[in-house]
Structure 1
């Protein structure tokens, strides 16, 4: 942890905020987006995370990362004592940081590294907000749901969120990178009867071997009229690249393979169909841009949250969900053919995905966070009954309205 000296708190509306997030992209991408928005409003922001999170690319300039100990609590009870000891140590370090930084609010994004900061904030009576990226409330967020001042959600329906906490739940969405939001107002890439069908396949930050096993053979089973127009980009694990490249070559399907693509935003912009996992960030990006997908939830995801994440977009017609146990080449080919049988059906699916997007998520979350520090809450969306923006962006209608931000 760095910085034990007293810091100057600027005058006016400027405040200090602390964001606490687990060390994965799923937790940190929305944290980075909120940090960028708060900094643009003139606030000072600090990040609490673990060693992984401190080194993840994309951290906004000027955002100081503090690495605090945070034990994990697995299935082995023998490890619980050590985990609790580390959490308590992290809590005490967070309290010392708060004495120096004087945060107006602490915002948790889930993950065990957020646990010490939230414990410290609640014990010091500092206003707290938790943000849930998934459609199932995560373990750390469940632990603090009764103690925090506000709960920001990414979906209109969130499982494991107790009904008694709905009065402090706000639907804001899951913030995504600004570069992706710039694509939202662009047209779906032209897709004609004889044009290319561009397919993007990713399996999360580490890839997914099941996609390498199934996708090449599934694409090969498509009718010739579709198969001959394919242009594939696929992210693979390093150990899978050679065999996947050989499969595509044997099927005579043009494919660009890699373990990581730096220009993923540009590739998504040109994509007609996405195939991959159903993580919160993935779905937030697909709905922000408006790209249809075939989603294969990670079967070992906690509380099966990836499958639950797909409900809104599949109901809107923006994606198809295939359980991994049923994810075969034949089933994949069947679902692709149903979505891409003509240009209109694929464009309609893209529109369905777009309707689920919440492009103002970072702004709405920042509004909520600012309201915790005495700045009036303008128009944050309440899950329980005031969903003006959500109704126009794919959330259930009929939940009432709030007054929009003054132009």
Structure 2
């Protein structure tokens, strides 16, 4: 399996990350190994406590929930083989597959979801993302310490049926189920490792396409190996993914050139030099950078001042200086995030305010 690409990751407005990528194999590899980089260390694998992109990316590869999210956030089957929704839209019943297992041999059951969700909303756990459970019955009251975690609107009906009750309709509820925060956790394993849970590869258990090996909690390299106990292992094309943390783009480029990495981030300056090469490909990142004004200060309470600053920025020239594959943003929502009725959501929510560079108009508004 050998193919080679130069990828540039483009964000909207100001700054973006760029990538050189080539998928192949180093000498001695089977050809089904990917050598990849990450921009930072793993903070934790604990689904209840993770907050960073690196951690969530790892969990998406080594764990699985009710659904997986495919291209354009399309919901694809995970552990749920069937979903029924009540007429009022407040009760979801998920039927789970019976062939899913944890890497320690335990079966994945509905109780693992109940335990995981209750653990996350429990104020004692200290989950920074627990607020995403808002709308599930009693979640807010539990997070405020007003009700017991046992009153959360989730229960197991036997081993393979999970019933979720909502306080209100959540249009994006199924999408949430593809986020690792809502994935199951093995209570036996969590209690066995206690405070060590999720702090190293060996202090975790896996139910996803890969198992992680070699992460000690502080080192800068580790690997994912194909999980032979994964229910859909036939769909997993790679045998192994090696990771190393690379914080400097020059280092990453040198490692890529020497064949030690199959992909590396590029700086905007590097893209100016490499753009146009045969394998250069743009990969759009769902990121927007923006200026935020401190509106507790009197001058920024004036909408004309804020509009003046916006009009005084020549976005096209700014992007030329930055280099790379950035585009000017017209809203906080980036291009390509998701589609609604076949249309890019960004085009629907774009700010209709004129953002064209206009020095004269900017001066006029600034002096009002």
Task: Determine if the TM-score, normalized by the shorter chain, exceeds 0.5.
Answer: no
Normalized per residue, the structure richer in helix is 1
The TM-score range, normalised by the shorter chain, is under 0.3
* Structure with the greater alpha carbon radius of gyration: 2
Q: Which of the pair is proportionally richer in strand?
A: 2
